[in-house]
Amino acid sequence: MTVVGPFGLSVRDQALEADVQTGLAAVEAGLLDATKSEVPFITEAAQHLVRAGGKRFRPLLVMLAAQFGDPYAPGVVPSAVVVELTHLATLYHDDVMDEAEVRRGVPSANVRWGNSVAVLTGDFLFARASHILADLGPEAVRIQAEAFERLVTGQILETAGPRDGRDPVDHYLDVLAGKTGSLVAVSGRFGAMMSGADESVVDILTQYGERLGTAFQLADDVLDIASDSHESGKTPGTDLREGIPTLPVLHLRAQAAQYGRPEDLELVALLDGDLTDDARHAETLRRLRVHPALEQARRDTVRYAEEARTTLAPLPECYAKSALEELCDAVVHRAG
């Protein structure tokens, strides 16, 4: 049994391990190549987050999904580079929107070079992803375009908030399906599709990715409150400080409205205050970390991960399927 990648994914087969490691190494080289520019400053900015590392969650899923066909088919690695470039581009934009100061344990691009450079660097990465997509065929372009539309729609819906009468938790889960689930679903879809897997397998791995992506983002929500920056590579409570209504906060507000417990109402009042104040922010984090709403968010994370696992049931038993099942456990463990 060999541990592969930052998730600590254990691979029980040497051939699978070799395929995954070879594929991820090729993706890393592809990312560096795709982020090079004739302008040195652009190269430096575009490679800022590539060189900072990261989990490479989406490329890993591409490589595992490709095991249900030919993992060395020519479109597999480029499609993994596309999804990771797209993801990286959204991080540059997200950090501007969130005014984040740290990403992957290094200063965010907006802090280092300013908002304009960060936004334009994200745009540069989108352009490079599109260039690679063009060589993968019109179907790949269409799939990626639809996913990107869903991703942006999810981000806009998050900013706009739920419409009148809509349950905030349901709204938020829809937001996550768009802004995170869509691209993880494409990772499973591209891996299977580019490897020549059967259409039924492509559909299963697309659905799996959608559910796993939502679980992954829910785990991030929990980490934003429960972890320190050493664990997450981000400033704790960034979403909290920016007033982004993540799932633990939504559960807290629902419980306060339903039960009216004084301690819940006090915590809601803290949340509604000025969380740019460091002392207030720290106190709000401290209280949320021991509130039942955080545990409820953890249970939701487990539920989506289990739904992803169940989706895999029709696939034939093999080492790749076992690894995909273990990926569900790894996502849940992050929120543990």
pLDDT tens for each residue of 174-187: 999 999 999 999 99
Task: Output the CATH code of domain 2-334.
Answer: 1.10.600.10
Triad 20, 316, 138: Cα angle to 5°: 60
pLDDT tens for each residue of 37-89: 999 999 999 998 898 878 899 999 999 999 999 999 999 999 999 999 999 99
Q: What is the mean pLDDT of the chain?
A: 90
d(CA 231, CA 4): 19
pLDDT tens for each residue of 55-69: 899 999 999 999 999
Residue 156, pLDDT above cutoff 50: yes
Per-residue pLDDT at 149: 96
Tell which residue, 249, 334, 316, has the closest CA to residue 288. Answer: 249
Q: What pTM did the predictor assign?
A: 0.89
d(CA 205, CA 296): 27
Per-residue pLDDT at 1: 40
Q: Strand 102-103 relative to strand 106-107: parallel, antiparallel, unpaired?
A: antiparallel
- Least confident window among 56-60, 78-82, 145-149, 239-243: 239-243
- The CB density around residue 35, as the number of other CB atoms within 10 Å, is 24
Residue 17, pLDDT above cutoff 80: yes
